[in-house]
Chains A and B, each alone.
Chain A
Amino acid sequence: MDFLFGRKRSANSAKERLQLVLIHDRTDLTPAELDALKDDLIATISRHVEIEPAAVRINLAQDGRSQRLVADIPLRSAARRRRSR
């Protein structure tokens, strides 16, 4: 339907914008602070295992009235590590 109107219906924009605003209101965490957290997390985990820093995804997700920090941290495979040695 949306392509017929040539734009997204405004209720969808409202919902998407609110989803982001509410997560930040509730956690009191700015996007910049979230980036700093991500850098710290990458540094810490890298001390123990080899990871793909560029592929790390850290997001805040809503789960009912609670928020959770969801981290997706791909590990560099052992086989590839051996080959690159």
Chain B
Amino acid sequence: MTAKVVTVTSGKGGVGKTTSVANLGVALALRGQKVVCIDGDIGLRNLDVILGLENRIVYDLVDVVEGRCRVRQAMIRDKRLPELHLIPAAQTRDKTAVSPSDMVRLCDELRPEVDWVLIDSPAGIERGFKNAIAAADRVIVMTNPEVSAVRDADRVVGLLEADEKGPAALVINRLDPAMVRRGDMLSVEDVLDLLAIELIGIVPEDDGVIVASNRGQPLALDAKSKAGQAFQNIARRLMGEEVPFMDLDTPGLWQRLMGRK
């Protein structure tokens, strides 16, 4: 196995990075892929609760980096999906406890063991972000259709370009098709015109996201969920499949997206 390292980042906080990493991890594991999710948000860990694995933490990312345990010991195996693992962040340390070269070393150690390493970047563009992108083969930039999130996404895309991280792929999260139709929300086309990067996913607004986080059961486990379906589609695109974008019932959107290829 030679894992692909994928980092999910956004600049702005609260746009859905952690939810996406959890759901992409689940979606890839459901397809038989061996996945390790790494929580890069040292000091503000949350991927553990979103995945429902908070009670099983013994060692964390900083323990691995500082040599108190081996990587395998810090990998929590999800009992629902045996291919899914989590390396949690440390809660009582800060971002400086890990360096970009530590992340590169850790990912190099994981590469032969798994198919995917998914890194949940903290918000911001400082040390935690730099750690999160250091080892990335591919970067997913998340945004919401809102001015502040789009502006921050553009900053991050610029930083990734300057860092020669290759073209970032965009996920537009929390899209409300009814608001777009009313003309009160930026459309997918608007966001793509502004950011001018490749689109890899559109996730509709979905109350189920909160319910899923309450329970610690990511939506991608629920076949009926639209947002869960959107994450399944992103996972398939990551695996190289051509998957058409979901019809979110926005007039013109479908044709435009099909025409974009």
Contact = CB atoms under 8 A, between A and B. Distances in A.
B147 A17 contact: yes
Interface residues of B, number: 21
A15 B151 contact: no
Interface stretch (A21-29, A30-38, A44-52, A76-84): A21-29
B161 A14 contact: no
B151 A9 contact: no
A65 B183 contact: no
A12 to B, nearest CB: 7
Nearest to A2: B183
B180 A64 contact: no
B184 A10 contact: yes
Interface in B134-156: 146-147, 150-151, 154-155
Contacts of B183: 9-12
B196 to A, nearest CB: 5
Interface of B: 146-147, 150-151, 154-155, 157-158, 161, 180, 182-187, 190, 193-194, 196-197
Interface of A: 9-12, 14-15, 17-19, 21-22, 25-26, 62, 64-65
30 contacts: A9-B183, A9-B184, A10-B183, A10-B184, A11-B180, A11-B184, A11-B186, A11-B187, A12-B183, A14-B147, A14-B186, A14-B190, A15-B190, A15-B193, A17-B147, A18-B150, A18-B151, A18-B186, A18-B194, A19-B194, A21-B147, A21-B151, A22-B151, A22-B154, A22-B194, A25-B151, A26-B154, A62-B196, A64-B196, A65-B197
